[in-house]
Homo-oligomer: A and B are copies of this chain.
Amino acid sequence: MPQKRPSPKRRSGCPLNASVEILGDRWSLLIIRDMMLRGSRTYKEFLESYEGIATNILADRLGKLEAHGIVTAERDPSDGRKLIYLLTAKGIGLAPVLTEMVLWAAAHEDTGNQALVRQMQKDKEQFLAAVRQRWAEKTIRSMAN
């Protein structure tokens, strides 16, 4: 069981503030999206995302996400150059947050990826269950290596 750290120097004890301090920037949630919904696992795959994150920012964010226990990094046994990044349970726990953010933007902004949005709208819980199951399979497979 991962422990809850008292986590130093928070601006306040408010849980929303904690989320904002950890995730409140223009890139972290996009990296998590890539892992959760697109199956991205390596530095190179994250770099290939359409938004175009800079290499130094990506390295910084991956380090912070790892420090926060949201992702893990492990060497690829079949290619010693690669690090495989995976979401932890804490990381996959963000699925409802991402989902609500997608639904909000889809409802109020001019956005694309309507296929994904309709899936979420049709049955949110089923969508989340599918996301969690894909994650569980991928995680078990990785631990078997």
Report A's interface with B, CB cutoff 8 A: 2, 4-7, 11-27, 29-30, 33, 50-52, 69, 90, 93-94, 96-113, 116-117
Contact = CB atoms under 8 A, between A and B. Distances in A.
A29 B33 contact: no
B113 A15 contact: yes
19 contacts: A2-B108, A5-B110, A7-B109, A11-B50, A11-B51, A12-B51, A14-B33, A14-B113, A15-B106, A19-B29, A19-B101, A20-B27, A20-B29, A22-B105, A24-B26, A94-B104, A97-B101, A99-B100, A100-B100
A66 to B, nearest CB: 15
B117 A15 contact: yes
> Could you say which of A27, A52, A94, A96 has the most chain B C-beta atoms within 10 Å of its C-beta?
A96
A9 to B, nearest CB: 12
Contact of A102 (B15, B29, B106, B116): B15
A19 to B, nearest CB: 4
A26 B33 contact: no
Given A4-B110, A19-B104, A20-B29, 16 more contacts: A6-B110, A12-B51, A13-B113, A15-B106, A16-B98, A16-B101, A19-B101, A19-B105, A20-B27, A20-B30, A20-B101, A24-B24, A24-B26, A69-B108, A93-B104, A97-B97
